[in-house]
Amino acid sequence: MKNHILIATLLLFCGFAAMGQPLNRPTYAMMINTAEEQMGKDYYRALEWYEKAYEESKDIELVIK
C-alpha cells in the first residue's frame, strides 16, 4: 500500500513539472527578453525576436489598425 501511494505521489509531481515547461519553443516572455538583450548587440536579431514574439502574442493592443 505504501508503494502505491509513493508511486502515485511521484507521478503527480512529475506531471506538474512537465506541464510547467514549454515543449520545444521559447515563451513570449523569453522572446521579449532575448530581443531586449540583442538590442545593444545586433538590431537585426532583435527585430527577428520581436517579430516572433508578435506572432506568439494574443494581445489585441499590438494589432496594427
pTM passes above 0.75: no
Question: CA angle, corner 42, sides to 64 and 21, nearest 5?
Answer: 70
* CA R_g for the chain: 19
pLDDT one-digit tens code per residue, 10-58: 776 766 655 665 567 788 889 999 999 999 898 999 999 988 988 888 7
Phi, psi of 57 (to 5 degrees): -70, 145
- Give how far Cα 64 sits from Cα of 54, 60, 61, Å: 11, 9, 8
